[in-house]
Amino acid sequence: MTGNREEFTVTPWEVRGEVNYERLVVEFGLTPLNKDLYERLTRLAGDTHKLLRRGVFFAHRDLDWLLDKYERGEMFYLYTGRGPSGHTHLGHMVPWFLTKWLQDRFGAKLYFQMTDDEKFLFKPELTLEKTRKYALDNALDVIALGFDPDKTKIFLDTDYIGFLYKIALQFAKKITFSTVRATFGLTESSNIGQIFFTSIQAAPAFIESIITGKNVPCLIPLAVDQDPHFRLARDVAPKLGFYKPAILHSKFLPSLSGGGKMSSSEAMSAIFTTDSPEEVRKKIWNAFTGGRPTIAEQREKGGNPDICPVFHYYAFIFEEDDRALGERRKRCLSGDLLCGECKEDLIKRVTNFLKEHQRKRERARDIVDKFLLRGEQTF
Amino acid sequence: MTGNREEFTVTPWEVRGEVNYERLVVEFGLTPLNKDLYERLTRLAGDTHKLLRRGVFFAHRDLDWLLDKYERGEMFYLYTGRGPSGHTHLGHMVPWFLTKWLQDRFGAKLYFQMTDDEKFLFKPELTLEKTRKYALDNALDVIALGFDPDKTKIFLDTDYIGFLYKIALQFAKKITFSTVRATFGLTESSNIGQIFFTSIQAAPAFIESIITGKNVPCLIPLAVDQDPHFRLARDVAPKLGFYKPAILHSKFLPSLSGGGKMSSSEAMSAIFTTDSPEEVRKKIWNAFTGGRPTIAEQREKGGNPDICPVFHYYAFIFEEDDRALGERRKRCLSGDLLCGECKEDLIKRVTNFLKEHQRKRERARDIVDKFLLRGEQTF
């Protein structure tokens, strides 16, 4: 997706430039997550979540329909995932945080897909051995967030293909090359695995319907770049007699280098769950901010939290309290809060979070097998 | 493939018109199976086979290389298969007969692939349930031919995808849409499963190399329409460090209606292994022949065995004795043998063959499980 003045690209395999989310809503055909729906979700959950309150999850498809079903007693399940091309960074976890909250509040089952096949097919330098290693590593981060072991299953596509393949074939039969070209920007030089792949990503949206033999609503919290897969899956679903999956779309945690989405390939642009306190300190100290060139100028004119990745880290993850976040914003705008103090505080919070997360991550090694699906296993 | 005067098409999914095998050799880039190589194969096998003697297997790729390897002590394995879109007819079994002989003479392992996924993807009217049913039915015909239960494994792609998928991904990464378009005539309206499928058909050509961790030569006896899959597989193999599979190409058993290949969709054009004696009689009596419009004319000018499907049935399957076949040909050419007598004799032979085959087919039900591979099983 490219425009005149503000060029940006959002596909499942590339996010580039300053993303204009309002334009994305129009171009992707999403529904903005409005106040009424937010309040309805909050009421049904009995609780709210900062990622919803603060508009990080900004759009949806058929969430209202899913809640209608829920109110009539049709329980939904959750599906999300990760493309394991490297270690997990904090940006990857944004949809996982909301997914965890949704599981807790609604008691929903979760299928978590590791697309080791996808990353192998799309990254020339990656082998299947490497994407498997990353997938098993990333699974530790998922488990460390505290998902319910009785309600959560994680699978690598290459492990679970015995179950997924037949569902994927049904989808593949209904999707042409022209369609994937138009949807993803794939070309005649794309490899035939890339062309087929969207069928594998669609499949988990129908697992529960297939297992139970009756339609089960599915809710997919995801970063908005993954939407095109499910636009296709939703087009095809009724032709196969399935419900369309509902989707909740999040914005991207900005890159510490400024602009765009964090990237696994630029180490300095993101904080990984495996980073040491020293790495965290260095990355945050080197981060782009909304500050002014000099302290004097910042005292006089104030900073700009809206373009500041450091501020976004607080808003997305590291400040639970809305009043404290508002206070931080006001102090930044007024020139009272300088970037040094703000960064120092973030370093502390990130370091504390990672210390605890890394401890849970290590403990996850003992229970990861309980989460993993293989062959033709189901819950 | 289309020409000026004699139009014909040969792709893995369509064979139409009168096939010109000499032109196919040129267009596909095959090597004719010459006398030297035939004699070498005969010497190494310690025996000959009518399908080789009579030029039904007419071309190859790298068979000489495979025999070099064999003579240096590198044992090869066999791979062939079937697209299960209906019951087995006698034409399908032509490559199986030679495969059985190769297994017996060389003691080679055989992997037999049932492409239930392919037939689902390419036939709009078929479901995965139907292609599975046909695959399990067709497997009985394979077993009935007497393949060695200790050296033969049969698998449905959807059952064995747990093992095949990772090999297929390696291939898929090296093949573009442009390539499958050029190789198979697929288009932008082809579904994305069809586009991916050739990777699944390539995979078994490398199973033994993957299992044993060292390169193992593979020989694929097939009907020539399947060659394009392995042209691609052979292009990609060295890029992945594998040997190229060697190929042995057979002609098609002609349609009883005259011209082209027998077709599962035209019941009268082919004899199915499940046909009753009455059906056999009716089909052969109604068959096109190389005979003349009247008995008087035939007595005078003689028949034409070269265009006669009935004669080809003898040559491909139902006459072991070369002298008897030559005698039949001579009697036909001279007008001594009339079509009625020739058909009546064929009816007897086919009926006897099928009576015995159907008995073995029923017995195969008890042992089919021993042959089937699932999940990530290997020999």
Any chain A CB within 8 A of the CB of B42?
Answer: no
Q: Are residues A111 and A243 in the same domain?
A: yes
Q: For chain B, how far is it from start to end, CA to CA, in angstroms?
A: 39
- Given a cut of 50, is residue B188 above it in pLDDT? yes
CB A172 within 8 Å of CB A240: no
Return the ∠ at Cα A191 (arms to A187 and A194), rounded to 5°: 85
Q: What angle do CA A366, A371, A372 make, to 5 degrees?
A: 105
- What is the structure's pLDDT at B260? 61
Give the range among A10-19, B223-232, B268-277, B325-334 with minimum mean pLDDT.
A10-19
ipTM value, please give it.
0.94
Residue A261 lies in a domain: no
Q: Name, in order, each residue with C-beta under 8 angstroms of B45's C-beta and a sequence gap of 6 or more.
A: B101, B102, B105, B106
Residue B370 lies in a domain: no
Q: Which of A165, A172, A193 sits opposite B173 (nearest CB)?
A: A193
Q: Which two tokens stand for residue A263?
A: 């990237």
Distance CA A222, CA B221 (A): 48
Side-chain-side CA neighbours of B285 within 13 Å: the count stands at 6
| Burial class (CB within 10 angstroms; exposed 0-12, middle 13-18, buried 19+) of A376 | middle
Q: How many domains does chain A have?
A: 2
Nearest by CB: B180 against A168, A169, A192: A192
Kindly state whether residues A78 and A24 are assigned to the same domain: yes
Tell me what pLDDT residue A6 has. Answer: 63
B162, B172, B192: residue with CB nearest A161? B162
| Residue B344 belongs to some domain of the structure | yes
Domain presence at residue A370: no
Residues A242 and A332 in one domain: no
Question: Could you give phi then psi for residue B366, rounded to 5 degrees?
Answer: -75, -20
**Residue B321 belongs to what domain range?**
267-363
B241 at interface of A, judged by CB pairs closer than 8 A: no
In this prediction, residue B313 carries a pLDDT of: 98
Mark whether B245 and B273 lie in a shared domain. no
Could B192 and A199 be called an inter-chain contact, meaning their C-beta atoms sit closer than 8 Å?
Answer: yes
Evaluate whether residue A368 is within a structural domain.
no
| A130 and A23 together in one domain | yes
Q: Is pTM, for the whole model, over 0.80?
A: yes
Minimum distance, in Å, between the CA of residue B150 and any CA atom of chain A: 25
Residue of B nearest to A131 (CA): B166
Does the distance separating the beta carbons of B169 and A121 come in below 8 Å?
yes
d(CA B216, CA A6): 56
Q: B196 in contact with A at a CB cutoff of 8 Å? A: yes
CB proximity B170 to A under 8 Å:
yes
**B190 contact residues in A (CB cutoff 8 A):** 176-177
CB B169 within 8 A of CB A197: no
Of B158, B175, B188, the CB nearest to A176: B188
Which residue is closest to B186 within chain A, CA to CA? A177
pLDDT score recorded for residue B208: 96
User: Are the C-beta atoms of residues B258 and B306 closer than 8 Å to each other?
Assistant: no
Residue A276 phi/psi, 5-degree rounding, is -85, 165
Q: Does any CB of chain A come closer than 8 Å to the CB of residue B366? A: no
Strands A110-114 and A152-156: parallel
Among the candidates B205, B234, B256, a domain finishes at B256
CB atoms within 10 A of CB B14: 11
Statement to judge: residues B156 and B28 lie in one domain: yes
Q: Is residue A301 part of a domain?
A: yes
How many Å lie between the alpha carbon of B271 and the closest alpha carbon of chain A? 31
Contact B176 A196 (CB under 8 A): no
Average pLDDT, chain B: 95
For residues A331 and A183, membership in a common domain is answered with no
User: How many angstroms separate the Cα of A95 from the Cα of each of A15, A220, A250, A377?
Assistant: 16, 9, 7, 26
Classify residue B354 by burial, with Cβ atoms within 10 Å: 0-12, 13-18, 19+. buried
Does residue B2 carry a pLDDT above 80? no
For residue A226, the SS3 value is helix
Q: Could you tell me if A31 and A8 are in contact, meaning their C-beta atoms sit under 8 angstroms apart?
A: no
Q: Are residues B276 and B243 in the same domain?
A: no
Q: How confident is the model at residue B262 (pLDDT cuts 50, 70, 90)?
A: low
User: Are B99 and B181 part of one and the same domain?
Assistant: yes
pLDDT category of residue B310 using cuts at 50, 70 and 90: very high
Q: Same domain for B132 and B59?
A: yes
- Indicate whether B78 and B188 sit together in one domain: yes
- Residue where one domain finishes, among candidates B256, B291, B309: B256
Q: CB within 8 A of A366, min separation 6: which ones?
A: none
- Is pLDDT above 60 for B366? yes
A145 Rama class: left (phi>0) / alpha (psi -120 to 50) / beta: alpha
Residues B160, B163, B164, CA angle at the centre, nearest 5°? Answer: 80
**CATH label of the domain that carries residue A178:** 3.40.50.620
Residue A287 and residue A237 in one domain:
no
Based on its alpha-carbon atoms, the radius of gyration of chain B, rounded to whole angstroms, reads 21
Helix/strand number for chain A, H first, E second = 18, 9
Using DSSP's 3-state secondary structure scheme, residue B94 falls into helix
Asked if the Cβ–Cβ distance from B193 to A172 is below 8 Å, we say yes
Split at pLDDT 50, 70, 90, the class of B316 is very high
Instruction: Count CB atoms within 10 A of the CB of residue A137.
Output: 16
Confidence of residue B358 (pLDDT cuts 50, 70, 90): very high
Q: Domain end: B229, B256, B283, which one?
A: B256
Q: Which of B158, B166, B191 is opposite residue A172, by nearest beta carbon?
A: B191
From first to last of its 379 residues, chain A has per-residue pLDDT tens of: 444 456 888 999 888 888 999 999 999 999 999 999 999 999 999 999 999 999 999 999 999 999 999 999 999 999 999 999 999 999 999 999 999 999 999 999 999 999 999 999 999 999 999 999 999 999 999 999 999 999 999 999 999 999 999 999 999 999 999 999 999 999 999 999 999 999 999 999 999 999 999 999 999 999 999 999 999 999 999 999 999 999 999 999 999 988 666 666 677 889 999 999 999 999 999 999 999 999 999 999 999 999 999 999 999 999 999 999 999 999 999 999 999 999 999 999 999 999 999 999 999 999 999 999 998 788 8
Q: Residue A128 and residue B199: Cβ atoms within 8 Å?
A: no
Q: A245 is written with which tokens?
A: 């999956």
